[in-house]
Structure 1
Amino acid sequence: YNVAADIPHTQPVFWLMTTVRERSIAVRAAGAVVPPDLADPKRIAAGAGQYAEMCSGCHLAPGMKRTEISQGLYPRAPELRRGSRLTPAEEFWVVKHGVKMTGMPAWGVTHNDELLWDVVAFLRKLPELTADQYQTLVKSAPKTHDEMMQEMDEGHDGQPHQ
């Protein structure tokens, strides 16, 4: 079987992998407790900053042209500016755990749940944004990605983080 990223899967393999991925995510995300404040503008702004640094290279952003990396991925990363069929719990699970053989990393290895829920909050807002609104929101992020990571590493809330 040719595993080259520039040769699409056969239709049966594509169907099988898509079905397994969708069912696996749904089952594993079912127990997630979704925070009630995903519409909080501060949380959305924080998520915008994270998205710009961590996600836009593959998933793109409003007004952004396809990048070299996004063009070379197979399967192609979903353009999240167009929306998602996933629930917030499913989005969180994917962001935290990644998806094997897709290029989607497991951000939960390096980021705490709070930061990942910020990304999910932003993903819920992303499809509504124009390119200018996106840029404004990214600039309004309370901290840069590096500052958020530094704060997380230092346990700013008095709790150790991994």
Structure 2
Amino acid sequence: MLLVPVPLRVVGSCLVRMSRPVLRTWMLITQLLSTQNIPAMLAYPEHMSQLMRSTQEHAMPLSNGLLLASLRAVDQQRSRILKGEMIQPYHYLTQEKARLLSPGEIVKMQIEIFPTSAVIRKGNKLRVAISPSNQAQGILNCPRQERAAGGITTIHNSPQYPFSVVLPIVPMAALN
């Protein structure tokens, strides 16, 4: 699991309503057991608050999202875009639009995070945990389980392959 801190500027306390967060990352498959492999990726934001009288941080999961790499195709026309930023990718999620992966191919993943609300206080942090699967929530059917086994997945974060999180935020004043 990869943990990525997300810089977040908050003045005072505010309600952060993440209506449709989107994780954008790049994934490299360096080894597949067959060309039919279908790696998955799970991402979830966590609220990091400082515990009183402690130097350790405590993480509280806020939400999560899941996407099979082979079903990463996005319909730009049906996706929601706000001020030039895609805030809700529309994934086809059909066998006809599935795109298999090849070893050495770097692919862009746009993972929609399920909507949630949270109070993020000044000085607290938001981080994103990335994992190659989530068997408890995203159980694959039997044929896909066989194809998803094995392989090595690398998450990229560089100027050429930037990692980002889009957080549509609704200030508390706008909710009154």
TM-score range with shorter-chain normalisation?
under 0.3
Provide TM-score, normalisation by structure 1. 0.23
More helix by share: 1
Would you tell me which structure has more strand in proportion to its own residues?
Answer: 2
- Whichever of the two has the greater Rg, that structure is 2
TM-score (norm 2): 0.22
